Chains A and B, each alone.
Chain A
Amino acid sequence: ILNVEQSPQSLHVQEGDSTNFTCSFPSSNFYALHWYRWETAKSPEALFVMTLNGDEKKKGRISATLNTKEGYSYLYIKGSQPEDSATYLCAFLNTGTASKLTFGTGTRLQVTL
């Protein structure tokens, strides 16, 4: 059984705050790490797919880093806005079970004015 853990479970920040979440995953047989944003009443949408150790990806105010040797990824949001409120999921793929994503339970972010 593959363990993917996310912390914190939930987070409440003020508009303009910067924040970050953690995803930890098994460090062996790494293939890819995905981040998804899931807004209420909508479908999960991919933010980043990361495959290389040391990868850093950015989309607007959101960025992510990857450390495959120690088995963690960070997601950063700079200057949070109310529209960033969502659940952020990470998912892990290993080389032995390609196409079978293992998801974490997510970090629920609420941004208030």
Chain B
Amino acid sequence: ETGVTQTPRHLVMGMTNKKSLKCEQHLGHNAMYWYKQSAKKPLELMFVYNFKEQTENNSVPSRFSPECPNSSHLFLHLHTLQPEDSALYLCASSQTGFSYEQYFGPGTRLTVT
């Protein structure tokens, strides 16, 4: 596989469930990102990892818990979410330095019921 992949593509979960989103990049990049896209809002950065270390947490509630075991894999663990957390969650990767051009995955469409 090439590029950035995300699984699952669609997820429906109840407010008491625990689930995880997975992202994998095959581009040899050293930075990975989680973004949230809600209806009629800009893409919103959630977390940044550089060389497996979290360098940015954009005031995200603790019910979202990221994990980056290595430079190629990124997870977003979800627990006790709210209906307003329903959104498209995009993963991206980039090389650090210079331009930080983002390479995006296809996203996970999350619905919290």
The smallest beta-carbon distance between A92 and chain B, in angstroms, is 11
Among the 9-residue stretches B60-68, B73-81, B93-101, the one with 4 or more Cβ atoms under 8 Å from chain A is B93-101
Chain B neighbourhood of A46, CB < 8 A: 101-103
Q: A34-B102, A44-B102 are in contact. Are A106 and B42 (CB under 8 A)?
A: yes
The smallest beta-carbon distance between A56 and chain B, in angstroms, is 17
Q: A43-B107, A99-B48 are in contact. Are A36 and B99 (CB under 8 A)?
A: no
Residue of B nearest to A4 (CB): B42
Residues 22 to 81 of chain B near chain A (Cβ within 8 Å)? 31, 40-45, 48, 50, 55-56, 58
The smallest beta-carbon distance between A3 and chain B, in angstroms, is 10
Residues 1 to 47 of chain A near chain B (Cβ within 8 Å)? 4, 32, 34, 36, 42-46
Question: Count of chain B residues with Cβ under 8 Å from any Cβ of A?
Answer: 26
Total of A-B residue pairs, C-beta within 8 Å: 57
Contact of B4 among A43, A93, A98, A100 (CB under 8 A): A43
Among A4, A43, A51, A89: residue with most chain B CB under 10 A = A43
Chain A neighbourhood of B102, CB < 8 A: 34, 36, 44, 46, 91, 101
Q: Which 5 A-B pairs have the closest CB atoms?
A: A43-B104, A103-B43, A49-B99, A103-B42, A44-B104
